[in-house]
Amino acid sequence: MSEKKRQFFGTDGIRGTVGQAPITPDFVMKLGWAAGRVFTRGSSCRRKVLIGKDTRVSGYMFESALEAGLAAAGVDSHLLGPMPTPGIAYLTRTFSANAGIVISASHNGFEDNGIKFFCGNGSKLPDAVEIEIEKELEKPMQSVTSRELGKAHRVTDAAGRYIEFCKSTFPNDTSLHGLKMVVDCAHGATYHIAPAVMSELGASVIPLGNKPDGFNINEGFGATAPEALQQAVLAEGADVGIAFDGDGDRLVMVDHTGAVVDGDEITFIIARQRYQRGLLRGAVVGTQMSNLGLERAVRTLGLEFMRAKVGDRYILEMLQANDCVLGGETSGHIICLDLTTTGDGIISALQVFEAMVRSGHGLSVLKAGMSKFPQRLINVRLAERQDVTDIAKIREAITAAERRLGDTGRVLLRPSGTEPLIRVMVEGQDAVLVDELAEGLAEVVERAVNAEGADEGAGKVA
């Protein structure tokens, strides 16, 4: 079924400002009820769903709302407390739960929150299941009888279980002993887990962004604000720095010189390490936004490179469809499908650390095997979401830009999955030309959309 048919679900669950529809307690309670009915349909055993959250203050409210909705559907809730998104996926599998629910707005500020789901096998929901949940939301909410109501259970050892799982993905014959690192947790869900994983594997850890108060998640720290990590790495004379986003599925790194290493470079480092050890199966999967330098570097290794739509769920779909194990986004969502079922910042970091330990090289040397192409991204805001590529002037501008780039670059216009924006991206070898073409295209898009809106308004008045 088409993604356009979904009313509430976006590219990564349901997300928005707390207190504004649909991120309200009453809606989230009904969402829990609807999801509980879908996930346990046809289930003959005791029905249970795991609920985890990040550290934002509204998580308490939505945890209670989901628990009430699930109970009304006759489903038990197992409450994990603050837990990285990939940790919830892992525990959903190991608890043999019907599903896992994550309360998080990922890299957004504390004013926002969201709900996303995992199937019982720990993977993101297919579009068809999200549509089934939305169908249930259209129905009146009705509780099961008192005898059938679900119960709530607090899982007290959730963090310890996930810490041990993360450590199990790091080879027994290697150690992080002697590696000094700064670990930035964005005051988010990894605050009590990532430093412990790295310390227990032997690293000397300097924690950063590890004091959440419900309001400071992602504020000046984490994968989307790496400046604090860069400064700390240089000030501490650390070998490396790692930063996660608020829910722990995204990773950005910093080398000993303070230079940021993004998801494309991380994907390449892991791909080369796996390839050299004969552990890489199939193609490496990126997205439409992945840097052309990653594609060329992967192909230089003799490997195939494939592009999925933007979003880790689409990377996962392509990995599964083509029997591949490694994919990643520029933003730092890296999926190692032979180790886990979803993007996991901690496990991705451990794969890079393995490459560092085995090669004896620092991050700055390992990333040097890939040269990034200059890339410019400009967001053009629209009055409402629409497909602008069917506007003649915009199509002509895209064709002209592609002609000037030739085979040394590319152009991409992509609508945002969460906002009324068109992302104009131009990439090529010549940075000056890239800037010129991106700014020109963005101007064409803005003028064409405004002109079209004015024309439509004039028509309505007439």
Q: Average pLDDT, stretch 212-240? A: 98
pLDDT of residue 4: 47
Whether residue 127 is predicted with pLDDT greater than 90 in this model: the reply is no
pLDDT of residue 432: 97
Q: Domain 162-369 sits in which CATH superfamily? A: Alpha-D-Glucose-1,6-Bisphosphate, subunit A, domain 3 (3.40.120.10)
Would you say the C-alpha torsion 367, 368, 373, 377 has a positive or negative sign? Answer: positive
State the chain's mean pLDDT as an integer: 93
Domain edges within the chain: 3-156, 162-369, 375-461
Q: Average pLDDT, stretch 79-95? A: 98
pLDDT of residue 386: 74
Closest CA to 53 of 151, 131, 158, 137: 158
Q: Average pLDDT, stretch 387-391? A: 82
Q: Domain 375-461 sits in which CATH superfamily? A: Alpha-D-phosphohexomutase, C-terminal domain (3.30.310.50)
pLDDT of residue 274: 96
Whether residue 301 is predicted with pLDDT greater than 50 in this model: the reply is yes
Whether residue 455 is predicted with pLDDT greater than 90 in this model: the reply is no
Q: Predicted confidence band at 376 (pLDDT cuts at 50, 70, 90)?
A: very high
Which DSSP string corresponds to 74-116?
A: T-EEEEEEE--HHHHHHHHHHTT-SEEEEE--TTS-TTEEEEE
How far is the C-alpha of 62 from the C-alpha of 28, rounded, in Å?
7
Whether residue 457 is predicted with pLDDT greater than 60 in this model: the reply is no
Q: Active-site positions?
A: 106
How far is the C-alpha of 433 from the C-alpha of 454, rounded, in Å?
32
Q: Between these two residues, 169 and 416, which has the higher pLDDT value? A: 169
pLDDT of residue 30: 98
φ, ψ for residue 331, nearest 5 deg: -70, -15
Q: Which residue reads 């929901």 in tokens?
A: 125
| Residue pLDDT, tens place only, 266-296 | 999 999 999 999 999 999 999 999 999 999 9
Q: Predicted confidence band at 44 (pLDDT cuts at 50, 70, 90)?
A: low
Whether residue 387 is predicted with pLDDT greater than 80 in this model: the reply is no
CATH architecture of structural domain 3-156: 3-Layer(aba) Sandwich (3.40)
Within this chain, domains 3-156 and 375-461 share the same CATH topology: no
| Residue pLDDT, tens place only, 302-333 | 999 999 998 888 999 999 999 999 999 999 99
